[in-house]
Each structure stands twice: as C-alpha cells, then as structure tokens.
C-alpha cells in the first residue's frame, strides 16, 4: 500500500502527520496531473486533479494564509479535532496534504464528488419522491450527528459543504471552510447568510443548535429546489429580518409533519431546537415504518405523518423562483458589517418601536381625558 511521504519540509506538519494520524500523508505536488479549476471560496481555491500514484480523480483545496506558524498551529489544532470524524462514511475522505511550489500555499487532498455539491443538485432533488428526499436528509443529519457526538461543531454548514458522489452524501469542510480565528475579529460575521443562525449573527458563540438551524435551511431547500432567500441580497437588511424572525416561505404541498420539524429546527431560540439525535430518530421513523404500517403499536400520529409523505405530490420549481439576486452570495465570506453593528441597529429599531407604542398609548389616554 502506498503511504506517501511524511517529509513535507514543515516540522509542524511532519510532527502532526507522524503523531496524530495513521492515514494522512504528505504527497509531492508533482504527483498530481491534469489540474483544473473548480471553484473559489472566501479563503481558498478548489481544483480537481488526477493523483498519478493512485490513478484516481481527487479534489485539491488550496488554503490561503497558512504560511506563518501561528496560523498553521491553529489550522492543525482544527485537524486534530476533526480527524475524529474521518472514519465516518458520511464525512468526505481526506488523504493528506501537498503544497503548490508556485504559490507556496498548502493544499488538502480529498475525495472527488462526481455530482458536485448539494446546491448544484437541488433542481434534480426537488423532483425526487419523498422517500428519496428523506433518505438524503437522513444521511446529512447522520453525518452532523457524528460530529456532535465528538463534541464538534461544523460552524459553516450549508449546501456548498455537502457533496454528492453517485448515491453517497459527504459532509466536507469540517472546520476548514471557516477561516482561522486569527484572520478575523470576534464580532465579524462569516458564512452564507441564510444558513447562519440568528444568535450567531448577533455575536453569540457557535453551538450544536446553530448547526441545527443551518440544517433547517437544507430541509427547506428539499421542498423548494432553490437556496433560501434566493431573490434577495445577502446583506445587513436580510440579517436584520432573520434576527427579527423572518424565515423562508413555506412551500405549498409540503407535509405538515415535515413543516413542524423544520420550524422546530429554525426556532429563534436555540434552546428550543431539537438535537441531531432527535432529528435523526424522527426522520428514521418516517423512512423505515411505511412497510410496517400494519404493526399495532405504531401510533396514529405516526401513521398520519407517513401517509402525508406517501400522498404528497412530486415537487417542482416555479420559474419565478429561480432568478437569483446578484448579491445572493452562495459561498462563505466575511460580511461588510459586524455583529456589534447589527445589534446596534436592532436595539435602535426596538427602542423606536417602544417609543412609538408609548406615544400611541399617551395619545389614546389624552383623547379619553377629552371625552365629556
């Protein structure tokens, strides 16, 4: 079995590969051929390539700004945690590291997904029957559950970080897509706007519940075939609306039990959102019990839920919904406003609302005094 090299020329990386992992390796950049650009994110560029030693197609994710020791240490700290999930079939497989000699940027080597990310597949998924949709959602929440079991939080969970390969679904960018902490200030906001939980927009720390909020947006995409708030700019105004409770419009003919779970997952109060374990169990019952409908101990509520999925029509995308706003950015990025600024706006709006309400009450009382 080819194990590659463990001599990268970077002592920190060599020690990490040697001590922390059994499978990750250092692979010379000249082992990759037919390198082609695929996509670009806020903090890295993605390529596809042929790994000559394995004669297989892989993805090269080139990561910027890792050349000083402080950033590199933080990067490896992320890897020490997220390597715990690599054994899961629902987490994208990672082979190791390389370095582009022209740019000196370190690069992560991972499995290639032949169908790309979830966002690119939504137009096909929307035409699937509900059993197929639920199977995909089950795999996604199972991967997220695997992370949460390891006391890890994704922090940037969206349709661009979920990959589809044949009939498999992989979660990617476990801590890699979010920039290293020293790259940004505490009150800066990073991600894909509709997938960021309102408490995160307001500067609270990430929790498993913030990942569940992101999952609710993926649930909504499975009913619509498009990204949330696709027709609006992903800007401070949308963030205000999200913090004030606005959510994507419920799509017609969505089973009510599905709507109820989705709404629980996008609740404005993170303490009221279900855990990955709870969501996993609900979706599991929806998938696996239809063939056992005759079993006496199945509740009438569950039977009703299952019949909703069976009777629900196949979805379709309305032509008017497919037009994306030019500022609806679907890759993770730093926003041009901070959580501090957002809180100031929200507090100002609340103060104005309270004052207006008080003035109306005072006017009403004044009119009452005038009545003879």
The Cβ of residue 229 has, within 10 Å, a number of other Cβ atoms equal to: 20
Percent share of the chain, pLDDT over 90: 48
Q: Is the pLDDT of residue 57 over 90?
A: yes
Instruction: Find the mean pLDDT for residues 55-66.
Output: 87
What confidence score (pLDDT) does residue 264 get? 98
pLDDT digits (tens, 9 = 90+) for 246-288: 999 999 999 999 999 999 999 999 999 999 999 999 999 999 8
Closest CA to 276 of 144, 89, 175: 144
Closest CA to 171 of 97, 57, 287, 86: 86
What distances in angstroms separate CA 294 from CA 93, 290, 291, 298, one per listed residue? Answer: 41, 9, 8, 8
Contact 63, 75 (CB under 8 A): yes
Helices (H) and strands (E) in the chain, counts: 11, 10
pTM: 0.86
Distance CA 49, CA 43 (A): 20
Percent share of the chain, pLDDT over 70: 78
- Which helix (DSSP H) or strand (DSSP E) does residue 164 occupy? strand 162-165
Which bin fits 152, alpha (ψ -120 to 50), beta or left (φ > 0)? beta
Instruction: Find the mean pLDDT for residues 5-19.
Output: 75
Closest CA to 274 of 360, 215, 343: 215
State the residue for tokens 């990025």: 333
Residues 281, 282, 283, 285: what is their CA dihedral angle, to the nearest 10 degrees?
A: 80
Domains of the chain: 11-111 (3.30.200.20), 116-341 (1.10.510.10)
Q: Cβ-count burial of 159 within 10 angstroms (0-12 exposed, 13-18 middle, 19+ buried)?
A: buried
What distances in angstroms separate CA 4 from CA 14, 18, 52, 93, 324, one per listed residue? Answer: 12, 12, 12, 16, 44
Largest CA distance in the chain: 97
């Amino acid at each position: 079995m080819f194990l590659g090299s463990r001599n990268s020329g970077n002592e920190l990386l060599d020690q990490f590969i040697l001590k922390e992992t059994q499978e990750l390796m250092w692979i010379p950049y000249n082992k990759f051929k037919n390198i082609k650009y695929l996509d670009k994110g806020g903090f890295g560029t993605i390529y596809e390539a042929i790994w000559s030693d394995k004669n297989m197609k892989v993805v090269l994710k080139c990561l910027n700004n890792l050349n000083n020791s402080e950033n590199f240490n933080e990067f490896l700290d992320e890897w020490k945690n997220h390597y715990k999930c690599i054994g899961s079939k629902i987490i994208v497989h990672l082979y190791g590291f390389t370095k582009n000699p022209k740019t000196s940027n370190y690069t992560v080597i991972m499995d290639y997904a032949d169908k790309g990310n979830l966002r690119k597949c939504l137009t096909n998924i929307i035409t699937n029957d509900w059993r197929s949709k639920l199977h995909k959602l089950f795999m996604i929440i199972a991967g997220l559950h695997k992370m949460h079991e390891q006391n890890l939080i994704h922090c940037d969970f969206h349709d661009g970080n979920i990959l589809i390969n044949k009939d498999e679904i992989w979660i990617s960018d476990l801590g890699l897509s979010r920039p290293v902490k020293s790259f940004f200030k505490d009150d800066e906001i990073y991600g894909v706007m509709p997938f960021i939980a309102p408490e995160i927009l307001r500067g609270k720390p990430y929790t498993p519940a913030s990942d569940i909020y992101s999952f609710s947006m993926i649930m909504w995409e499975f009913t619509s075939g498009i990204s949330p708030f696709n027709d609006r700019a992903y800007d401070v105004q949308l963030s205000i609306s999200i913090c004030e409770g606005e959510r994507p419009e419920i799509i017609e003919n969505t089973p009510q039990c599905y709507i109820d779970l989705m709404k629980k997952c996008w609740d404005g109060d993170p303490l009221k959102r279900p855990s990955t374990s709870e969501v996993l169990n609900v979706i599991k019952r929806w998938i696996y019990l239809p063939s056992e409908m005759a079993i006496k101990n199945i509740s009438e509520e569950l039977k009703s839920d299952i019949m909703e999925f069976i009777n629900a029509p196949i979805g379709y995308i309305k032509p008017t919904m497919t037009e994306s706003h030019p500022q609806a950015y679907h890759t993770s990025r730093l926003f041009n406003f901070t959580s501090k600024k957002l809180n100031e706006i929200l507090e100002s709006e609340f103060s104005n609302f309270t004052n207006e309400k008080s003035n109306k009450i005072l006017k009403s009382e004044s009119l009452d005094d005038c009545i003879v």
